[in-house]
Amino acid sequence: MSANSFGNLFRLTSFGESHGKAVGGVIEGILPGLDIDMDFIQHEMNRRRPGQSAITTPRDEKDQVEILSGVFEGKATGTPMGFLVWNSDQKSGDYDNIRNVYRPSHADYTYQTKYGIRDHRGGGRSSARETIARVFAGAIAKLILRREGLTVQAYTSQVGHIQLDKSYQQMDLEVAESNIVRCPDPEVAQQMIDFIDQTRINKDSVGGVITCVIKNVPVGLGEPVFNKLHAQLGHAMLGINAVKGFEYGSGFGAAAMTGMAHNDEFFMDGDRVRTRTNRSGGIQGGISNGEDIYFNVAFKPIATVLKEQQTVNKDGEEVPTVVKGRHDPCVLPRAVPIVEAMAAMVMVDNLYLNKMYR
């Protein structure tokens, strides 16, 4: 029900907007006794942080997490973990120009109409700053997955018209973290970086696609019929800002296929039942089958562009506007850890849920 909570047994409830005092949340369902590896957590936070490279927004957010509860002597206690990151980067006074203007393809108009009130200083609750809580909770989730051997790894597979044409099996995904666009193919990565840089110079923005792979998944995760594992993953991804589409396994490409071409034949790999192909994307009937789970997430170009656009204001007047503020021409690199975080939370939740049947 709660729109600010995600998950069931492993559950994040988040709060905070771009120009309030802090963003943060509460995480429930952390495995008691879990080592809270702060180095790993801060590393994950830094991956999301703006200002990591020349092609992202220059805003230098510290994103230093403060844990308020739920940990004792470095270990999770099983009680809810409150946490926050202060919003240090608030400047008041320079927002009057956007107080009454609805920026095109932003959430200004819809928030104003739904709630009848709005913090006009930036994106408010719809700001990407809200994703801090997701990445933090995702880092905790990854620590739990690590104990079970699961890995979750995402990378940029498309920026604008530049598409990576290799499948994830054909590349060393670790390479993704070695370049600022987070693409595991160095050559394509450089093309993407150049394209983003040009977009930045053009004061424009560009969309793209993130691919995510989950490995070492036990058979049996997922809760049919309405909470099929991929439905949960899709829900998670579509809740990320700027996401316009989700597909898993064969995805939209499956629409053009026939059953004989699409079906994954089973075979025995020693004692283990496996499939020769994996168009199912590791999920059959909404339940993991032990093969790799992989999916794509489409991002639109973010709405903040620095050129003049036509729009309307609260008084119902048509006015031109030039959106000010920091400019992040392509959010894909920073969205990679967000995709991973959401996926990790889904997987932990389903690991817990599945224990019921044992």
Which residues, 266 to 305, sit near a copy of itself by CB under 8 A? 266-268, 271, 273, 275, 279-281, 283-289, 296, 298-305
The reply on whether position 13 binds a copy of itself by CB under 8 A is yes
Q: How far is the CB of 356 from a copy of itself (least distance, A)?
A: 5
For residues 278 and 224, give the distance between their C-alpha atoms in angstroms, rounded to a whole number. 20
- Given the complex with a copy of itself, which of 5 and 151 has the nearer CB atom? 5
Which of 37, 42, 53, 82 is the binder for a copy of itself (CB under 8 A)? Answer: 82
Judge whether 282 and 62 are in contact, CB under 8 Å.
no
Alpha carbons within 13 A on the beta-carbon side of 262:
14
The reply on whether position 24 binds a copy of itself by CB under 8 A is yes
Bridge partners (DSSP) of residue 311 are 319
Q: How far is the CB of 192 from a copy of itself (least distance, A)?
A: 12
- Given the complex with a copy of itself, which of 50 and 208 has the nearer CB atom? 208
Rounded to the nearest angstrom, the gap between the alpha carbon of residue 287 and the centroid of all alpha carbons in its chain is: 22
Site for a copy of itself in 228-267 (CB under 8 A): 228, 230-232, 234-235, 238-239, 244-252, 254-267
Which of 50, 70, 138, 184 is the binder for a copy of itself (CB under 8 A)? Answer: 70
DSSP 16-45: --TTSSEEEEEEE-PPTT-B--HHHHHHHH
**DSSP code of residue 316:** S
The reply on whether position 74 binds a copy of itself by CB under 8 A is no
Which of 100, 312, 325, 326 is the binder for a copy of itself (CB under 8 A)? Answer: 312
Q: How far is the CB of 69 from a copy of itself (least distance, A)?
A: 4
Question: How many residues at the interface with a copy of itself, by CB under 8 A?
Answer: 149
Site for a copy of itself in 109-128 (CB under 8 A): 109-111, 113-119, 124-126
Strands lying side by side in the sheet with 101-102: 101-102, 308-313, 318-322
For residues 319 and 150, give the distance between their C-alpha atoms in angstroms, rounded to a whole number. 52
Residue indicated by tokens 């069931």: 8
- Residue 125: which of 3, 1, 16 has the closest Cα? 16
What's the N-to-C CA distance of the chain in angstroms? 28
Q: How far is the CB of 228 from a copy of itself (least distance, A)?
A: 6
Which of 15, 95, 151, 177 is the binder for a copy of itself (CB under 8 A)? Answer: 15
Residue ranges for the binding site for FMN? 125-127, 241-242, 285, 300-304, 326
Which of 160, 184, 333, 337 is the binder for a copy of itself (CB under 8 A)? Answer: 160
- Given the complex with a copy of itself, which of 215 and 300 has the nearer CB atom? 300
32 token code pair: 């008691």
Stretch binding a copy of itself (CB under 8 A), from 53-61, 138-146, 171-179, 309-317: 309-317
Which of 56, 179, 211, 311 is the binder for a copy of itself (CB under 8 A)? Answer: 311
- CB-count burial class (<10 Å; 0-12, 13-18, 19+) for 149: exposed
β-pairing, 11-15 with 22-28?
antiparallel
Q: For residue 130, how many other CB atoms are within 10 A of its CB?
A: 21
Site for a copy of itself in 85-114 (CB under 8 A): 102, 104-107, 109-111, 113-114
Residue ranges for the binding site? 48, 125-127, 241-242, 285, 300-304, 326
Q: Residues 182-211: x/- map of binding to a copy of itself (CB under 8 A)?
A: -----------------x--x-xxxxxx--
Site for a copy of itself in 29-68 (CB under 8 A): 29, 31-33, 66-68
Judge whether 182 and 332 are in contact, CB under 8 Å.
yes
Q: How far is the CB of 172 from a copy of itself (least distance, A)?
A: 24
216 token code pair: 């070492």
Torsional class of 307: left (φ above 0), alpha (ψ -120 to 50), beta (otherwise): beta
Q: What are phi and psi of 80, to 5 degrees?
A: -65, 140
Judge whether 155 and 336 are in contact, CB under 8 Å.
yes
